[in-house]
C-alpha cells in the first residue's frame, strides 16, 4: 500500500490524491493534519498508482500544490515542504476592460433568464406543454383532463393560467370531447383572455364551428399577438358557448370536485375557475374574486 510522509506547518491540512495514467481517474484520497510539523498518510487497498497530487495549507484554503511521481508501488516516500517548493505568486494582470466585463455580465444575465424555465415544474407546469402540445400554457396537463361535462348555451367559463416570461400570447384554445349541435345563427362563439386584474386583453373571432367537432378548437387573437413580458404573469382564459341546441361536451379535469379549498389559496381572493350563465357576449372586464360562480370543475383551455 502507498505511504507518503512529509513536513508542513503544524495544524495545516494535507490532502493527497492517488492517480494512475494507465487507469484514468482518482484511485483514492487521504487527508490528515500536520502535527509538530510532520504528517503521514497511508492509503490502504491501492496497489497500482503512478503519482500523487498533494495539497497543503489552511483548512479549506490550500496554498501549495505538488505532483509527486512514484517510481514503483510501495513506499514510504518522504516529501519535504520547503520554501523552494512553494509556487511563485502569479504575475500581476491587467484589469478586465469595460467591454470584457459587459460580456461576462451578459453571460450571467443569459443564464439567469433560463432560471424560470428550470423552475417551471415548481410553478406547477411539470410536463413541458410547449414541447408536447405546442402550448405555452393550459388549465393543466391535458393528460389529466379525462373527465367531461356539458357547456350549455349562454355559459361562459373563466380559468386562471400561468404565462411564462418571454412568451407572447397568439392563440387561444378549448378542448372539446364530444361535438354539440349549433343553431346556425347565435353569436358569438369564441375565446377571450383577461389580465390577472380582470381587464380584457383580446379575443378570438366568432367561430360557428368552435365546438361542433371533437378536438382542440380556437385560433388567433383578433388584432394580433399580445406581447411577451419580462416576467411571468397570471391571466384568465375564457370560452363562450352560444346557440347550442345540443350542448357540446368539454374536457374537464379528472375527478373534479367542487371543494372550497380548490377555488383559491390561503389569504388570496382571485379564484382558479368560475362560470356565468346567460351571457350574450364575453364581458369587457371581470372581477376574479366575485364574478360568476366559483368551481373546482375546470375545463381544458390552452394558450399558444
Residues 28 and 168 in one domain: no
Average pLDDT over residues 183-203: 97
**pLDDT reported for residue 231:** 92
Claim to verify: residue 78 and residue 142 sit in the same structural domain: no
Domain check: are 59 and 172 in the same one? no
Could you tell me if 28 and 133 lie in one domain?
Answer: no
| Per-residue confidence (pLDDT) for residue 84, from 0 to 100 | 34
128: preceding bond cis by omega (within 30 degrees)? no
For residue 58, pLDDT beyond 70 = no
pLDDT computed for residue 276 by the predictor: 97
For residue 31, being part of any structural domain is answered with yes
SS3 readout for the chain:
CCEEEEECCCCCEEEEEEECCCCCCEEEEEEEECECCEEEEECCCCCCCCEEEEEEEECCEEEEEEEEECCCCCCCEEECCCHHHCCCCCCCCCCCCHHHHHHHHHHHHHHHHHHHHHCHHHHCCCCCHHHHHCCCEECCCHHHCCEEEECCCCCEEEEEEEECCCCCECEEEEEEEECCEECCCCCCCEEEEEECCCEEEEEECCCCCCCCCCEEEEEEECCCCECCCCCCEEEEEEEECCCEEECCEEEECCCCCCCHHHHCCCCCCCCCEEEECCCCCCCCECCCCCCCEECCCCECEEEC
Same domain, 38 and 158: no
Do 38 and 134 sit in the same domain of this protein? no
Query: What is the span of the domain harbouring residue 35?
Result: 3-85
pTM of the model: 0.61
In terms of domains, do 135 and 283 share one?
Answer: yes
Domain CATH for 197: 2.60.120
- Residue 121 forms part of a structural domain: no
Residue at 225 is within a domain? yes
Q: Can you tell me which residue has the cell 370560452?
A: 239
Question: How many domains does the chain contain in total?
Answer: 2
- Domain assignment present for 105: no
User: Same structural domain for residues 70 and 139?
Assistant: no
Mean pLDDT for 209-232 is 96
Cα–Cα distance for residue pair 51/226, rounded to 1 Å? 63
Query: Cβ neighbours of residue 215 under 8 Å, at least 6 residues apart?
Result: 175, 176
Note whether residue 101 is domain-resident.
Answer: no
Q: What is the mean pLDDT of the chain?
A: 81
Among candidate residues 188, 159, 132, 97, the one with its CA nearest the CA of residue 302: 159
Cβ atoms of 4 and 79 closer than 8 Å? yes
Q: Are 239 and 139 in contact (CB under 8 A)?
A: no
- Of 85, 116, 140, the last residue of a domain is 85
List the CATH number of the domain containing 78. 2.60.40
Which of 85, 117, 140 corresponds to the end of one domain? 85
Instruction: Please check whether residues 80 and 145 belong to one and the same domain.
Output: no
| Residue the block writes with cell 493534519 | 33
Note whether 20 and 146 are same-domain residues: no
Answer yes or no: is 102 within a domain: no
- Residue 179 within any structural domain of the chain: yes
Looking at the structure, tell me whether residues 183 and 250 fall in a common domain.
Answer: yes
Which of 62, 85, 108 finishes a domain?
A: 85
Residue 160 — left, alpha, or beta (φ > 0 → left; ψ -120 to 50 → alpha)? beta
Question: Is 37 inside a domain boundary?
Answer: yes
Distance of CA 229 to the CA centre of its chain: 17
CA distance 293 to 275: 5
Same domain assignment for residues 52 and 147: no
pLDDT in tens, 25-57: 666 677 777 666 666 767 665 655 556 676 776
Dump pLDDT digits (tens) for 99-146.
777 777 776 666 566 555 545 444 444 568 888 999 999 999 999 999
In the chain, % of residues over pLDDT 70: 65
The cell for 183 is 343553431
Amino acid at each position: 500500500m502507498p505511504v507518503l510522509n512529509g513536513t508542513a506547518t503544524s495544524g495545516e491540512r494535507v490532502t493527497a490524491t492517488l492517480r494512475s495514467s494507465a487507469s484514468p481517474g482518482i484511485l483514492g484520497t487521504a487527508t490528515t493534519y500536520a502535527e509538530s510539523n510532520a504528517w503521514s498518510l497511508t492509503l490502504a487497498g491501492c496497489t497500482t498508482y503512478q503519482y500523487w497530487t498533494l495539497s497543503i495549507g489552511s483548512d479549506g484554503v490550500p496554498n501549495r500544490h505538488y505532483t509527486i511521481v512514484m517510481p514503483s508501488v510501495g513506499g514510504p516516500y518522504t516529501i519535504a515542504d520547503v520554501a523552494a517548493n512553494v509556487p511563485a505568486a502569479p504575475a500581476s494582470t491587467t484589469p478586465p476592460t469595460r467591454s470584457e466585463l459587459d460580456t461576462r455580465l451578459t453571460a450571467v444575465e443569459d443564464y439567469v433568464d433560463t432560471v424560470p424555465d428550470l423552475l417551471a415544474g415548481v410553478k406547477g407546469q411539470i410536463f413541458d406543454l410547449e414541447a408536447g402540445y405546442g402550448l405555452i400554457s393550459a388549465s393543466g396537463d391535458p393528460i389529466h383532463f379525462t373527465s367531461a361535462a356539458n357547456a350549455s348555451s349562454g355559459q361562459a367559463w373563466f380559468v386562471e393560467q400561468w404565462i411564462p416570461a418571454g412568451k407572447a400570447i397568439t392563440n387561444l384554445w378549448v378542448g372539446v370531447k364530444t361535438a354539440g349541435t349549433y343553431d346556425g345563427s347565435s353569436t358569438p362563439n369564441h375565446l377571450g383572455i383577461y389580465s390577472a386584474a380582470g381587464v380584457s386583453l383580446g379575443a378570438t373571432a366568432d367561430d360557428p364551428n368552435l365546438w361542433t367537432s371533437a378536438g382542440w378548437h380556437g385560433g388567433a387573437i383578433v388584432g394580433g399577438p399580445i406581447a411577451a413580458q419580462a416576467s411571468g404573469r397570471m391571466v384568465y382564459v375564457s370560452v363562450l358557448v352560444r346557440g347550442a341546441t345540443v350542448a357540446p361536451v368539454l374536457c374537464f379535469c379528472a375527478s373534479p370536485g367542487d371543494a372550497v379549498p380548490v377555488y383559491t389559496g390561503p389569504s388570496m381572493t382571485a379564484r382558479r375557475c368560475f362560470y356565468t350563465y346567460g351571457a350574450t357576449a364575453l364581458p369587457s372586464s371581470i372581477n376574479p374574486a366575485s364574478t360568476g360562480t366559483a368551481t373546482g370543475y375546470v375545463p381544458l383551455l390552452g394558450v399558444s
